Structure 1
């Protein structure tokens, strides 16, 4: 059975030429939304995904705007609202050293290099220069950890463990 990975959600249309507004959930939007790439649209209640080929991609504000081959009209794409764009596991490429897919990091246990358990990664934010990992502590508190060399010392996605060296004030 094919495993699918979420890359975005269509939240609205944009203009009248079939452009859709996507909230990206992918680690590599420039790669995923590249012209010619195939994405699969999963609609609520549908049994089979709709295969779509990216015709254009651009960013506007906090959204990725996409058009698809043969679907250049607002009336055709309007029904795609609330659909989830996914890719099969077979489309996941090989990564460079120290690069990870979101799904590999989410769920990992985070501890300091001295052995203190911090919590588990629940979400990854991409605000700009570097990703920020949201850690939920056993007490329910959310802690934000920047994914930078000075803080993240070791990532073991096989064992689902991340070791960090917190900077002063990071955990308080």
Structure 2
């Protein structure tokens, strides 16, 4: 399995106890969805390695306390700190019609109420304080639109199209 077949679950940030327990900082709005996992894939030295979970429970808001099978000592747990954890895309919880995962909207057409065809969604930059849709306009220019419910009029998943109503002047910043 490759990273392209997976989604980022979180990062192993610290040990919890001297018995080999670890804390994974989850990258999700719904940490409770991941409380009863059987296993995770850890990006260990550039390879996804399955680690089976003996026990897990939520610890504070977005930390998952896990006890992996065969990790019995602090030294073993130390080796896993700062590595990223992934799950197969098939384990993503289902979403309702108005929700989406960033990876599934790449390639969607973008239509704005004022400007019409904005081109194609090429990605979502979620590394900044405000997540941004990245679009490639037919002119070749890049357009960035904040991921904000107020700007999204409709999502037509069947036709792979996003309908936006962007604030006056936003698109003009990129096209003028």
Q: What TM-score bracket applies, with the shorter chain setting the length?
A: 0.5 to 0.7
Gaps of 5+ in 2: none
In the alignment, the residues of structure 2 paired with residue 87 and residue 147 of structure 1 have an alpha-carbon distance, to the nearest angstrom, of: 26
Q: Does 2:144 match 1:143?
A: yes
* SS, match of residue 80 in structure 1: coil
CA distance 1:47–1:33, change in 2 (3 Å)? closer
CA RMSD of aligned residues (A): 3.7
CA distance 1:164–1:47, change in 2 (3 Å)? closer
Taking the TM superposition and a 5 Å limit, the aligned residue runs for 1:13-162 are: 13=14, 16=17, 18-22=21-25, 24=27, 26=28, 28-34=29-35, 36-42=36-42, 43-46=44-47, 48-52=49-53, 55-58=56-59, 64-70=62-68, 74-113=74-113, 114-125=115-126, 132-138=131-137, 139=140, 141=142, 143-148=144-149, 150-162=150-162
Q: Which has the higher helix share?
A: 2
Gaps of 5+ in 1: none
**8 Å Cα contact 1:106/1:124 also seen in 2:** no
CA-to-partner distance for each residue in 1:40-85, whole Å, 9 max, x for gaps? 123234464223366133457xxx4332135586433222235332
CA distance 1:109–1:168, change in 2 (3 Å)? same
1:169: which partner in 2?
Answer: 169
CA distance 1:4–1:52, change in 2 (3 Å)? farther
> TM-score normalized by structure 2?
0.66
In the alignment, the residues of structure 2 paired with residue 74 and residue 160 of structure 1 have an alpha-carbon distance, to the nearest angstrom, of: 48
